Amino acid sequence: MYSLGPEASESYGGAGSDINRKLARLAALKAERSSWDNHWLQIAQYQFPRAGRFLTSDTNEGKKKNQHVYDNTAIFAVRTLAAGMMSGVTSPARPWFRLGLADRDLMEFAPVKQWLHDTGEIMRQVFAASNTYNTLHSCYEELGAFGTWADVVLPDFDNVIHHYPMTIGEYYLAHDYRGKIDTLAREMKMTVGQMVGQFGKNNCSQAVRNLYDRGAYDVWVDVVHLIEPRRNRDLRKRDGRNMPVASCYFEPGKEAWDKYLSESGFQRFPVLAPRWVVTGNDVYGRSPGMEALGDVKQLQYEQTRKAQAIEYQVNPPLQVPTAYKDAAQSRLPGGVMYVDAMSPGGGVRSAFEVNLRLDFLLESIRDTRDRIRQAYYADLFLMLQSQPANGRMTATEVAERHEEKLLMLGPVLERIHNELLSPLIDITFERCLEANILPPAPPEIQGVDLDIEFISVLAQAQRAVAVNGMERLVGTAVSLAGVRPEILDKVNFDQVIDDLSNAFGVNPALIVSDEDAAKVRAARAQAIQAQQAAAAAPTMVDTAKVASDINTDQLRDVMGMLQGYSSPSPAMVQ
């Protein structure tokens, strides 16, 4: 259903004409992206040297790419941002999402709650077994530096899913009328061996087949991959060539225009293409790297000037008599020069006095570094490390500062949830269903749409205000109970526990359901009643014994006297 399909197709009036149309769209996408290329290239040169593929010839290039970097503050800032986002949003060490339902009452049903938890655990195991977390780390690096990232998620027999991430410059994007990315094109290079292995020898061009027959398996060949909505399809068919999303591989050479390397399709757009921040109707996003680029360039310039100033002071230019023209070695440290002091211009001296003030330059460098770190939120993720050594803060102050800074990532976090993590979870859930590795769903949720709740550290920080409100409410109620104990009747502690467990992402198996809690309380009440009855039993026996010893005649006389109807009997007188 989701296979790439090695066979070519002659749909839409012949594959050749269709490939020409796809090449025309590729040219249009390339022209639309061209205004971004120079900006991305500068970011790559100064902040992320090993990223970016703006020419297909850049593939597998190991040449030095950090010639523009004299101060690596920006490189470390990118690294810090990626690590902070990884641990704060999608940490492999703790749950960062949870499946839910729009019907909250149905979610409280124990079998449903347990199924949602178990399904989420299986999906997290799939992420751990595949290359998901390695790919997400690359995602956060590219998002921080360039503002846009792209990745294709395809089915995998061994690990359910497999990611094929791309770096900036090697893909082109387009979005629909809602601003949602729905098209990806990329120009890439594949070796002859890779092409024959993926598409089959008969689907490759004659040039590739000839290279394969000669054993030239490692020769690189240009390949275009286009994933886009299929605008013409037969709705009565459900094969790969009639699915809503088309996926086509082809060679851009003239002799290959009459045949696809592969034509297939997907039910769902298999591309993850998050943006850091989007302005208006832009296709590509803005990034911290764009905001920091001016400061990064300034920092490199200041570092070169600082090195030049130090060099002037350590090794200043000299004014030397012509007689010493050939005594260069003698002017090195440890060398001996014989100078005629009686000569008016004799001796060796500096060409001019060098006494530069570096403190102003160093202060400017520190200020520039701080601005770069702030642009990349490094001060946020390294907040505790950046505190003074003798600084003293309470745990509450630390938590409040942490939450205050995390709120700055709120808009970005929402976009990452919507454009990266939610589609990833949807795709993974469908792949797990196809692989038949999920537990049977309870009949109560058949046909019910699933919701995704994010419970990562950063996501919980966004909801910390609500949690703090509940904690303050409970604390205040307990304090007031010392004056008026009946005030606790106003607090539904069962609901407080349920809400806190949802906010903290606690395993639902640790929280007893309302029905089971009611049964436990009823049993406890019965046990207390039984204990009270058992404790009261000896008193009742003693009372019965005393009652049996009462003289009924005397009791009758007493009652009569109290009523004024009789006088004491002889027995009572005695």
Other Cβ atoms less than 10 A from the Cβ of 567: the count is: 9
pLDDT higher for 317 or 224?
224
Name the H helices within 186-316: 192-199, 206-213, 288-314
Complete DSSP assignment for 414-448 = HHHIIIIIHHHHHHHHHHHHHHT-SPPPPGGGTTP
Name residue 63's beta-bridge partners.
none
Tell me, what's the pLDDT at 29? 95
Cα–Cα distance, 99 to 115 (Å, whole number): 9
Cα–Cα distance, 77 to 65 (Å, whole number): 18
Nearest to 60 by CA among 255, 152, 190, 163: 190
Percent residues over pLDDT 70 in the chain: 73
Mean pLDDT of 3-20: 48
- Write the pLDDT tens digit of every residue in 553-574: 654 554 455 445 455 555 544 4
Binned at pLDDT 50, 70 and 90, residue 242 comes out as confident
Percent residues over pLDDT 90 in the chain: 38
Burial class (CB in 10 A: 0-12, 13-18, 19+), 482: exposed
Given a cut of 80, whether residue 80 has pLDDT beyond it is yes
Element (H, E) at 318: strand 318-319
Q: How far apart are the first and last CA of the chain?
A: 110
HEC profile for 486-498? HHHHHCCHHHHHH
Cα–Cα distance, 451 to 102 (Å, whole number): 6
Mean pLDDT of 143-161: 94
- Write the pLDDT tens digit of every residue in 288-314: 999 999 999 999 999 998 888 888 777
Provide the b/e sequence for 340-372 (b: ≥16 CB within 10 Å).
Answer: eeeeeeeeeeeeeeeeeeeeebeeebeebbebb
Mean pLDDT of 266-276: 94
Least confident of 18-22, 254-258, 316-320, 367-371: 254-258
Nearest to 155 by CA among 147, 146, 164: 164
pLDDT higher for 479 or 255?
479
- Write the pLDDT tens digit of every residue in 244-262: 999 999 988 766 567 889 9
Cα–Cα distance, 225 to 263 (Å, whole number): 10
Mean pLDDT for the chain? 80
